[in-house]
A and B are shown apart, each in its own frame.
Chain A
């Protein structure tokens, strides 16, 4: 019974952690916009936390610059299980306009398992919410 409550709560209260790996700030602004009164994802229980230790969903933006790669991987390993990694924007998917640069390490899925990718430069808030809802479905089946 207790397990049922915990499983249900997992779906109802996913906390986001926002990890910037050298993004141009476009995606970051769009991510914050989903918390504003217009889109209000707090109605799903979603909350932005300041520390990876409390996160359930990690949202990664940016093309993973060489400077930030090690640090980003370290932060991702600090997130307790069960966790879901969402890559936001075209940058972590392919490198986007920075592709071929000597200083970026994208795509992100060379280093970690990415569960959901939201494409766009930057993606629309509706697309981000859709991606996060998909991430919550994946989170449901993960075990701690």
Chain B
């Protein structure tokens, strides 16, 4: 029974099948919102599904100069690790036994793997554009990891203090605390951290002002220059799931427990919280990703780096200091 349930979790609900659907759907919703904001009709919402299946039907080419095994395996590793994170994040009342192992530190480590996979894949493709893209991705990672880690520290420390333990990094404790005592973004010392996290989201998923590593107009899609066919489809899918995972992480850390328990049965509660979670995901997608994508143009790599090491870092440090001072 336990094993069957585990398989269901891994393959169907928060795992593979669900991630596949929600990742591509979120990409489609994002494209549609941006199109409507620019007064265009825009592609249908299921457009990324068409893209994915078309890419499946394309000829598979592995360039001669590429390191073949790494080139093929890199996107797959990225996809697997991002799906693993999706298993770890609790959705309000919906919890799997994977959540007991969920730890913010593990999630930070796993979150770097898709970016690393992109870097390795791009560098292994044997194209100079891939090399340039990979180096830009490294710089971006250095940029956004710092505020991200400080934000997680601030939240862990705050919830730890409120529950009279040392800092807690277990996501399930953080969510449980919020279900009992209301969402964490109402603690005013955590508001700067929440803002910093919102600023990290567009860079982590590589959407427009920060899509410097795969800029199609200047470096021919950067790291993705040699990827075509299904491997590129896997990369796109990873990007979609990353949107879901980042926003879910935000909701789990700052906005859990907004809706009260509607009934005594866990099943009904889980169902309601999943629906609510999806609605929240779309709202935050609009605020943090689409709005920015529709109104800004790509910035240069050193501008992005400077931005991340000033404003988001300052905000998250402010939060950490406030929490440390006991506010």
The residues of A with any CB-CB pair to B shorter than 8 Å are 5-10, 12-13, 37, 40, 42-45, 48-51, 53-54, 56, 78, 80-82, 144
27 contacts between A and B (CB under 8 A): A6-B54, A8-B50, A9-B49, A9-B52, A9-B57, A10-B54, A12-B47, A12-B50, A40-B42, A42-B31, A43-B35, A43-B43, A45-B43, A45-B47, A49-B221, A50-B216, A50-B219, A50-B220, A50-B221, A51-B220, A51-B221, A53-B225, A53-B232, A54-B224, A54-B227, A54-B228, A82-B58
A-B pairs under 8 A by CB, number:
94
A40 CB → nearest B CB, Å: 4
Q: Which residues of A are found within 8 Å of B228, using beta-carbon distances? A: 51, 53-54, 80
0 or 1 for each of B161-188: is its CB under 8 Å from A? (1 = yes): 0000000000000000000000000000
B69 within 8 A of A: no
Q: Which residues of A are found within 8 Å of B58, using beta-carbon distances? A: 56, 80-82, 144
Contact present for B221 and A42 (CB under 8 Å): no
B308 CB → nearest A CB, Å: 25
Q: Which residues of B are found within 8 Å of A50, using beta-carbon distances? A: 215-217, 219-221, 225
B212 CB → nearest A CB, Å: 13
User: What's the Cα separation between A45 and B47 when bound, in Å?
Assistant: 7
Apart from A12-B54, A13-B47, A80-B59, what are 11 other A-B pairs with CB-CB below 8 Å?
A: A8-B50, A10-B57, A42-B42, A43-B42, A43-B43, A44-B43, A45-B44, A51-B129, A54-B232, A56-B58, A144-B58
Q: Which residues of A are found within 8 Å of B39, using beta-carbon distances? A: 37
User: What's the Cα separation between A6 and B229 when bound, in Å?
Assistant: 12
Contact present for B51 and A48 (CB under 8 Å): no
Q: Identify which of B52, B57, B61, B217 contacts A53 (C-beta below 8 A).
A: B61
Name B19-58 residues within 8 Å CB distance of A: 31, 35, 38-44, 47, 49-58
B226 within 8 A of A: yes
Q: Identify which of A5, A37, A53, A78 contacts B227 (C-beta below 8 A).
A: A53
Contact present for B57 and A43 (CB under 8 Å): no
B175 CB → nearest A CB, Å: 38
Contact present for A6 and B53 (CB under 8 Å): yes
User: What's the Cα separation between A82 and B49 when bound, in Å?
Assistant: 19
Query: Interface residue count for B (Cβ, 8 Å)?
Result: 37
Q: Closest 4 A-B residue pairs measured CB to CB?
A: A50-B216, A53-B228, A80-B59, A6-B57
Task: Select from chain B the residue with minimum beta-carbon distance to A80.
Answer: B59
Contact present for B61 and A13 (CB under 8 Å): no
A1 CB → nearest B CB, Å: 12
Q: Which residues of B are found within 8 Å of A81, using beta-carbon distances? A: 58-59
User: What's the Cα separation between A113 and B174 when bound, in Å?
Assistant: 62
Q: Which residues of A are found within 8 Å of B215, using beta-carbon distances? A: 50
User: What's the Cα separation between A6 and B215 when bound, in Å?
Assistant: 28
Contact present for B229 and A80 (CB under 8 Å): yes
Q: Which residues of B are found within 8 Å of A5, using beta-carbon distances? A: 53
0 or 1 for each of B290-307: is its CB under 8 Å from A? (1 = yes): 000000000000000000
Q: Which residues of A are found within 8 Å of B61, using beta-carbon distances? A: 53, 78, 80
Q: Which residues of B are found within 8 Å of A43, using beta-carbon distances? A: 35, 40-43
User: What's the Cα separation between A44 and B216 when bound, in Å?
Assistant: 20
User: What's the Cα separation between A8 and B53 when bound, in Å?
Assistant: 9
Contact present for B59 and A144 (CB under 8 Å): yes
Contact present for A54 and B53 (CB under 8 Å): no
Q: Which residues of A are found within 8 Å of B42, using beta-carbon distances? A: 40, 42-43
Q: Which residues of B are found within 8 Å of A13, using beta-carbon distances? A: 47, 50-51, 54
Report if A51-B225 is in contact (Cβ < 8 Å); known contacts: A12-B54, A43-B42. Answer: yes
Q: Which residues of B are found within 8 Å of A44, using beta-carbon distances? A: 43
B28 CB → nearest A CB, Å: 11
0 or 1 for each of B97-140: is its CB under 8 Å from A? (1 = yes): 00000000000000000000000000000000100000000000
Task: Select from chain B the residue with minimum beta-carbon distance to A7.
Answer: B57
